[in-house]
Amino acid sequence: MLRNIRISLWGLMAGLSFLWLLANLPLPETFSILTTRNLLMQYSGVIGMGAMSVAMILAVRPVGLEPWLGGLDKSYRLHKWLGIAGLVALVFHWVAVNGPTLAVSFGLMSAPERGARPVGAVSTDVATIESFLNGLRGTAEGLGEKAFYVAVLLIALALIKRFPYRLFAKTHLLIAVAYLVLVFHSVVLMEFDVWAQPIGIVTGLLLLAGTVSAAIVLTRQVGKRRKVEGIVEDQHLFEDMNVLETTIRLDDEWKGHRSGQFAFVTFDKSKGAHPFTIASAWDATDPRIMFITKGLGDYTDFLPEHVKPGAKATVEGPYGGFTFDDAKPRQIWIGGGIGITPFIVRMKQLARQTEAQQIDLFHTATHLAPAARAKMTADAEAAGVTLHILVDDQDGFLTGDRLRAAVPDWDNASVWFCGPAAFGEALRRDLAAHGMPRGAFH
């Protein structure tokens, strides 16, 4: 689905660029500093707000886009790249707006002569609207510059991986506020006659959809229709692995889930919702759901001590497209560390049905408790899955050569990976170099 993400990103950029160019043809025969500045200013504004608008739409978790993008987790990748594109365009826009003024102040150029704003023959009503917007130009410019600084700071923080998640979740919410100010800035300052052209119509629709999405984000209505209340029924901590199993009994509103999907879980409103892979097969007659979490930071370390049986929980979902759907005769699963979770669910599901595919599961871990090994082995036997367990200091690491030796007809299989990103990318590159077909690695 990475291909669809790239198509979406570059298709948006190319489409907006084409419509902007169409609106500005024919280009001026001669380019002065002011005409060049105005063109670059309008273009960067259209690209920046287009990217931020689609990013804002993705922030409300639109389920309808999951099949195209390959799941909500994949759409977050597009959301990230749209944020980066918006950031670059906004910086470029700021330079286009302020560059000539800075150049004049440093004595690098003389102040260009400004002509009067052109006024065309328009109806009285339209002229009234244009006059009203022109009266807001000073306010829009001032607020827009402040919103620019805020947006740049917040997007930059969102891209810093070491920035704590709890702070990220709170500060990222403020991007919606900055976005709304930038919408006001864009509506007032876009050339008025452009609104009647295709680029204006498309930009207007994007700004409208983004504004509605920002309102949903700020009023905390994201995923509201997919939220179900529940009670924590049981917990089991594998202390030597720092892994926690949490079972929640859900209300009847939960519509079920598929193997490999995930949900956002809130145990404490002050800490917000966190995404966890679902670790149990769905049974409508027994509406329980289980999550397996590993202590990897402040929140996952917080769970064993502060979340106990009887505690309330809110579960939102399900989301995700890691659902093992393909027509290959064989599948190879690779679960690195806590990435084993979706495969546990799938094995429990397969134990209840007849599955024609041959499946090899490779589980790599730095340590595996005997109780966890026994449960995994039993699940694999019940599902008819061939299990390969590799504990790092005992069995060594999983490599492409080792995988191909264990599964000779690997090139007829699809590969499903969940685990550390660098590990997955190394395996994908290795298998691709040995002839793995495009699209076989999930």
Task: Dump pLDDT digits (tens) for 211-237.
Answer: 999 999 999 999 898 999 999 999 888
Q: What's the whole-number average pLDDT of the chain?
A: 88
Q: State the Cα torsion 390-395-401-407 to the nearest 10°.
A: -50
Task: In whole angstroms, give the CA distance from residue 277 to residue 340.
Answer: 10
Nearest alpha carbon to residue 216 among 93, 78, 62, 90: 62
Q: What does the pLDDT read at residue 206? A: 97
**Spelled out in words, what is the top-level CATH class assigned to the domain 224-319?**
mainly beta
Residue 257 carries which side chain, given as an amino acid letter? H
Q: What does the pLDDT read at residue 193? A: 87
pLDDT of 116 strictly over 60:
no
Reported in sequence order, the residue ranges of 296-357 that DSSP labels E, i.e. its strands, are: 312-319, 330-336
b vs e for 315-331, b when ≥16 Cβ sit within 10 Å of the residue's Cβ?
A: bbbbbbbbbbeeeeebb
Task: Indicate where the chain has its CATH 2.40.30.10 domain(s).
Answer: 224-319
Task: Say which CATH topology domain 2-112+121-218 has.
Answer: Four Helix Bundle (Hemerythrin (Met), subunit A) (1.20.120)
Answer positive or negative: Cα dihedral of 177, 181, 182, 186. positive
- Better pLDDT: 177 or 282: 177
Task: Indicate where the chain has its CATH 1.20.120 domain(s).
Answer: 2-112+121-218
Task: In whole angstroms, give the CA distance from residue 82 to residue 219.
Answer: 23
pLDDT in tens, 18-77: 999 999 988 887 877 788 888 999 999 999 999 999 999 999 999 888 888 888 888 989
Please tell me the least confidently modeled range out of 114-123, 221-230, 360-369, 408-417: 114-123
pLDDT in tens, 373-396: 999 999 999 999 999 999 988 999
State the greatest distance between any 2 C-alpha atoms of the chain, in Å, as a whole number. 82
Share of the chain above pLDDT 90, in %: 50
Q: What does the pLDDT read at residue 109? A: 67
What CATH code would you report for 330-433?
Answer: 3.40.50.80
H helical segments located in 190-330: 198-218, 298-306
130 exposure class (CB count in 10 Å sphere: 0-12, 13-18, 19+): middle
Cis peptide before 318 (omega within 30 of 0): yes
Task: Indicate where the chain has its CATH 3.40.50.80 domain(s).
Answer: 330-433
Task: In whole angstroms, give the CA distance from residue 120 to residue 126.
Answer: 11
